[in-house]
């Protein structure tokens, strides 16, 4: 069991950067693979990034690879997403997601979701 809360969203200009943070509660945080997914109104849900419970392996969607970085700190019960070189098409609600299986995160699913945080990229 884990509860998730995202923060750090906002308005940023194209080419800018932003850091999203997800704070988790629960004693078993380190048992979960973590990920970030995004959803824009009227568009399909999109997998962005995932990190395995030990933090040693990461996975990225082709659309963000090289621009976004996922990391976790199991001691602090947090997972972050660093967004660089932002584009208008990155505009979406970003969700922190937890699941026992990282493969499920890569399919756009998960057992536990945060409330989401809005990222808007506009000049």
13 C-beta neighbours (distance < 10 Å), count: 11
| Separation CA 19–CA 29 (nearest Å) | 21
pLDDT digits (tens, 9 = 90+) for 50-95: 999 988 899 999 999 999 999 999 899 999 999 999 999 999 999 9
The pLDDT assigned to 26 comes to 78
HSE-CB of 6 using CA atoms within 13 angstroms? 27
In this structure, the number of other CB atoms found within 10 A of the CB of residue 41 comes to 7
Residue 27 has pLDDT above 80, yes or no: no
Residue 9 predicted with pLDDT over 90 = yes
Percent of the chain with pLDDT over 90: 88
């Amino acid at each position: 069991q884990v509860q998730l809360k995202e923060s750090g969203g906002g308005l940023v200009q194209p080419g800018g950067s932003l850091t999203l943070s997800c704070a988790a509660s629960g004693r078993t945080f380190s048992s979960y693979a973590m990920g970030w997914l995004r959803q824009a109104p009227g568009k399909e849900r999109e997998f962005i990034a995932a990190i395995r419970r030990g933090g040693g392996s990461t996975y990225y969607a082709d659309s963000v690879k090289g621009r976004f970085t996922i990391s976790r700190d199991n001691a602090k019960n947090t997972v972050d997403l660093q967004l660089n070189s932002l584009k208008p098409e990155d505009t979406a609600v970003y969700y922190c997601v937890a699941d026992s299986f990282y493969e499920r995160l890569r399919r756009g699913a998960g057992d536990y979701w945060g409330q989401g945080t809005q990222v808007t990229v506009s000049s």
